[in-house]
């Protein structure tokens, strides 16, 4: 243990014991204790000493105590009230209380126990009450069933069909947010200690602020929010901010963007109403509808794509005998890769993954059909497609498929071991929606946990994110279990799941690795330990929206909304090329590529951002009367959400000195350009 560390913690501990600890001191003490195991140990020992002295003093023989008090004399004005209370309770109340307790306990078996108060004096020496204070029990923890109301009224979720293993004590522990968060923290720390790593330091406010904005709203904070947050002295400002951001309209928008991309990809080629799907998702997330409801509506939607936004999901995937629909449904909602089993068995077929299983799932989509709605166009003199509808035709019976040897097989609709009636009168997709959200709810919950976790940490608990199953090692099975349990118990409350994760210690760690956790490097193929925040490249949408927040470049051009949105789409289109394959999945060529770099550096948007046009952030900062350092600081806060480092100030100031003498554009534009093109800008850390 380093001397520095003791030097710092002892005064804090002493102040705590003497009730003179300031809020700042308390914060520092908390930080030390949370971050350093040595500090934690010292804290507990110190408080044990303090507590033992306090406790034992109260147990001193009463007469001694009185005598001592009389000797001390001087405290006559303050002492008696409490002292009397102690004496009264310790001699009267205590023994009476203990006696009453014993009586109640024994009343059932030994009703003949005398209630004569004469027993009282002996009680102090009662073998039961003076039992040695030792605790060598190493037996497993029992569960505490505290009466905490659950947010879900469904009784069945309290007792899931597959109860958690004994190790998961949390199963019946209260489901309030604080308990879930502390459960995450507890499991995380146990993992760190098992793996012999130490978590990184807590992220600084500026680092964390940018992170939580990007993750919850999809863009960086504007400089005003940065200023406000950094100046905020409240100690719970982080949790207050999380609450605020979750009520921000961009929160639902961000979730809708993410899930739209997952459900139908980024390509705009498909003949679907992407905006309609987006709007449906946005509403679901804004109202925080249970995830089970959203999934059920997506899977069982019927109707005209223009009116029923959720229908666009399957409309995008019903080609090719609904093979894409089957694969995407399993991959997105259940994080299961079934498309390979379309033609061959999964390498590990113990967890399903057989051909018949693929086709049994596929059979649920057999009735679904796309209908094109045509209308006569008098201008062209032709019937033209005006929209498409998703309907279920009343068709029954099995689905036919050919196996590897060319033998024709049949598959009936079956999911999670439940076969449904294959009659034409039964709406199969509605049945599938029901089964996924009931029989399959643990799988659905686990998949949601994995995706959400990966969203915040850049790494899932299982990786690849959408290939869960016994063949994929889980980085933290107990945590996965606990969170899955909690999601089911919360009735699939996505916002709460996000809140638990964002409130956990791991989410507040710095992204800077230390010597004690350098081994935690998932890029090298190791299972992630989450002992620090992993870097996440910004998505195309995050990058674009962040550029707008940082620069207000959109205000420099045509500034009405449609134009801005058109600009956004055009800009985004350059960032990815859809690689369409059989499963209708698309990959984006994104993530620090050369093309992206060039676009950032020379693209129209960035040029406009540094053009110093009225209304832009650069212009607003440049035209103030502040000194140069302040202006650089404002630019740094606008782009990176932090203050400039000294080295940056030195370089920029010396550069600016030269530029000032040259005519032309606003020299601060170059500073801003440098910040916007830094790797730091394009990464969420």
Site for another protein in 41-80 (CB under 8 A): 41, 43-59, 65, 68-69, 72-75, 78-79
Contact between 678 and 546 (Cβ < 8 Å): no
| DSSP symbols for 210-264 | HHHHHHHHSSPPPHHHHHHHHH---TTHHHHHHHHHHTSHHHHHHHHHHHHHHHH
Which CB sits closer to another protein, 238 or 428? 238
Segment interacting with another protein (CB under 8 A) among 171-179, 519-527, 561-569, 624-632: 171-179
> What is the footprint of another protein within residues 139-158 (CB under 8 A)?
139-142, 144-146
Q: Tell me the closest approach of the beta carbon of residue 14 to another protein, in angstroms.
A: 4
Q: How far apart are CA 375 and CA 306, in angstroms?
A: 15
> Per rule CB under 8 A, is residue 408 in the interface with another protein?
no
Q: Tell me the closest approach of the beta carbon of residue 13 to another protein, in angstroms.
A: 8
Contact between 491 and 497 (Cβ < 8 Å): no
Q: Tell me the closest approach of the beta carbon of residue 6 to another protein, in angstroms.
A: 9
Name which position in 2, 3, 136, 287 contacts another protein (CB under 8 A).
Answer: 136
Segment interacting with another protein (CB under 8 A) among 97-105, 213-221, 343-351, 411-419: 97-105
> Per rule CB under 8 A, is residue 404 in the interface with another protein?
no
Strand intervals (E) in 395-520 = 399-402, 408-411, 414-415, 418-419
Segment interacting with another protein (CB under 8 A) among 96-104, 154-162, 408-416, 632-640: 96-104
Give the number of other CB atoms < 10 A from CB of residue 187: 22
**Number of residues counted as binding another protein (CB under 8 A):** 96
> Per rule CB under 8 A, is residue 17 in the interface with another protein?
yes
Segment interacting with another protein (CB under 8 A) among 15-23, 430-438, 460-468, 488-496: 15-23
> Per rule CB under 8 A, is residue 104 in the interface with another protein?
yes
Longest dimension (CA), the chain: 112
> Per rule CB under 8 A, is residue 101 in the interface with another protein?
yes
> Per rule CB under 8 A, is residue 7 in the interface with another protein?
no
> Per rule CB under 8 A, is residue 129 in the interface with another protein?
yes
Q: Cα dist. 550→121, 399, 547, 628 in Å? A: 76, 54, 5, 19
Q: Tell me the closest approach of the beta carbon of residue 1 to another protein, in angstroms.
A: 11
> Per rule CB under 8 A, is residue 275 in the interface with another protein?
no
Name which position in 1, 67, 107, 386 contacts another protein (CB under 8 A).
Answer: 107
> Per rule CB under 8 A, is residue 132 in the interface with another protein?
yes
Q: Tell me the closest approach of the beta carbon of residue 100 to another protein, in angstroms.
A: 4
> What is the footprint of another protein within residues 503-522 (CB under 8 A)?
505
Q: How far apart are CA 359 and CA 412, in angstroms?
A: 8
Name which position in 121, 163, 235, 657 contacts another protein (CB under 8 A).
Answer: 235
Q: Is 220 exposed, middle or buried (0-12, 13-18, 19+ CB in 10 A)?
A: buried
Q: Tell me the closest approach of the beta carbon of residue 458 to another protein, in angstroms.
A: 22
Q: Cα dist. 660→120, 256, 415, 627, 670 in Å? A: 92, 46, 71, 14, 12
Alpha helices in 36-135 (DSSP H): 37-59, 62-72, 79-87, 94-106, 120-123
> Per rule CB under 8 A, is residue 249 in the interface with another protein?
no
> Per rule CB under 8 A, is residue 178 in the interface with another protein?
yes
Question: What tokens were used for 157?
Answer: 């979720």
> Per rule CB under 8 A, is residue 1 in the interface with another protein?
no
Q: Tell me the closest approach of the beta carbon of residue 15 to another protein, in angstroms.
A: 8
Question: What tokens were used for 201?
Answer: 């330091």
**Which candidate, 684, 179, 187, places its Cα nearest to that of 474?**
187
Segment interacting with another protein (CB under 8 A) among 99-107, 314-322, 455-463, 475-483: 99-107
Q: Tell me the closest approach of the beta carbon of residue 522 to another protein, in angstroms.
A: 24
* Residue 388, phi then psi, degrees to nearest 5: -130, 150
- Dihedral over Cα of 29, 34, 38, 44: its sign: positive
In sequence order, the β-bridge partners of residue 395 are none
Contact between 312 and 274 (Cβ < 8 Å): yes
Which CB sits closer to another protein, 74 or 654? 74
Q: Tell me the closest approach of the beta carbon of residue 207 to another protein, in angstroms.
A: 18
Q: Tell me the closest approach of the beta carbon of residue 170 to another protein, in angstroms.
A: 10
> Per rule CB under 8 A, is residue 186 in the interface with another protein?
yes
Segment interacting with another protein (CB under 8 A) among 173-181, 433-441, 540-548, 643-651: 173-181
| DSSP symbols for 114-150 | ---GGGHHHHTT-TTTT--------PPPPP-------
């Amino acid at each position: 243990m380093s001397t520095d560390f003791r030097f710092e913690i002892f005064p804090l501990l002493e102040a705590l014991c003497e009730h003179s600890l300031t809020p700042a001191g308390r914060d520092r003490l908390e930080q030390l204790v949370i971050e350093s195991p040595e500090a934690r140990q010292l804290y507990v020992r110190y408080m044990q000493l303090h507590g033992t002295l306090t406790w034992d003093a109260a147990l001193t023989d009463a007469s001694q105590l009185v005598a001592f008090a009389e000797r001390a004399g001087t405290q006559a004005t303050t002492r008696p009230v409490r002292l009397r209370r102690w004496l009264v309770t310790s001699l009267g109340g205590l023994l009476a209380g203990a006696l009453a307790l014993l009586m109640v306990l024994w009343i059932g078996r030994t009703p003949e126990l005398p209630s004569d108060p004469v027993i009282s004096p002996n009680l102090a020496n009662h073998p039961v009450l003076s039992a040695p204070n030792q605790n060598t029990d190493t037996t497993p923890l029992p569960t505490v069933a505290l009466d905490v109301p659950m947010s879900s009224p469904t009784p069945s979720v309290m007792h899931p069909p597959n109860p958690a293993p004994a190790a998961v004590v949390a199963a019946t522990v209260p489901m309030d947010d604080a308990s879930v968060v502390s459960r995450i923290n507890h499991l995380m720390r146990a993992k760190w200690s098992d793996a012999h790593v130490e978590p990184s330091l807590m992220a600084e406010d500026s680092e964390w602020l940018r992170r939580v904005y990007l993750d919850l709203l999809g863009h960086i904070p504007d400089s005003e929010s940065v200023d406000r947050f950094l100046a905020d002295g409240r100690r719970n400002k982080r949790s207050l901010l999380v609450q605020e951001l979750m009520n921000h309209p961009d929160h639902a928008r961000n979730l809708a963007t993410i899930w739209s991309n997952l459900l139908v990809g980024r390509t705009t080629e498909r003949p679907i109403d992407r905006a309609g799907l987006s709007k449906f998702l946005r509403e679901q997330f804004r109202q925080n509808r249970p995830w089970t409801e959203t999934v059920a509506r997506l899977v069982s939607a019927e109707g005209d794509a223009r009116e029923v936004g959720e229908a666009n999901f399957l409309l995008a995937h019903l080609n090719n005998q609904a093979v894409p629909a089957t694969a995407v449904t399993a991959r997105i909602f259940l994080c299961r890769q079934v498309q390979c089993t379309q033609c061959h068995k999964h390498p590990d077929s113990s967890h399903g993954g057989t051909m018949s299983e693929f086709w049994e799932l596929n059979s649920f989509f057999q009735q679904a059909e796309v209908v094109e709605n045509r209308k006569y166009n008098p201008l062209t003199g032709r019937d033209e497609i005006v929209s498409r509808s998703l309907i279920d035709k009343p068709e029954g019976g099995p689905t036919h498929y050919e196996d590897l040897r060319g033998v024709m097989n049949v598959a009936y609709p079956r999911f999670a071991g439940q076969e449904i009636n294959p009659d034409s009168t039964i709406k199969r997709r509605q049945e599938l929606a029901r089964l996924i959200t009931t029989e399959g709810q643990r799988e659905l919950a686990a998949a949601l946990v994995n995706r959400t976790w990966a969203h915040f940490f850049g790494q899932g608990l299982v990786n690849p994110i959408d290939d869960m199953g016994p063949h994929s090692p889980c980085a933290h099975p107990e945590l996965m279990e606990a969170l899955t349990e909690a999601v089911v118990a919360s009735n699939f409350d996505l916002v709460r799941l996000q809140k638990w994760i964002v409130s956990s210690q791991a989410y507040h760690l710095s992204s800077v690795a230390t010597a004690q956790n350098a081994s935690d490097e998932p890029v090298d193929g190791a299972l992630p330990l989450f002992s620090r925040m992993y870097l996440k490249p910004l998505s195309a949408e995050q990058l674009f929206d962040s550029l707008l927040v940082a620069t207000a470049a959109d205000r420099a051009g045509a500034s009405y909304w449609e134009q801005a949105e058109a600009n956004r789409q055009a800009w985004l289109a350059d960032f990815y090329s859809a690689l369409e394959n059989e499963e209708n999945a698309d990959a984006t060529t994104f993530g620090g590529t050369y093309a992206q770099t060039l676009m950032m550096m020379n693209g129209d948007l960035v040029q406009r951002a540094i053009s110093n046009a009225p209304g832009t952030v650069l212009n607003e900062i440049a035209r103030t009367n502040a000194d140069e350092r302040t202006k650089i600081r404002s630019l740094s806060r606008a782009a990176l959400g932090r203050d400039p480092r000294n080295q940056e100030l030195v370089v920029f100031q010396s550069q600016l000195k030269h530029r000032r003498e040259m005519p032309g554009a606003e020299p601060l534009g170059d500073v801003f350009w440098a910040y916007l093109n830094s790797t730091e800008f394009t990464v969420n850390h």
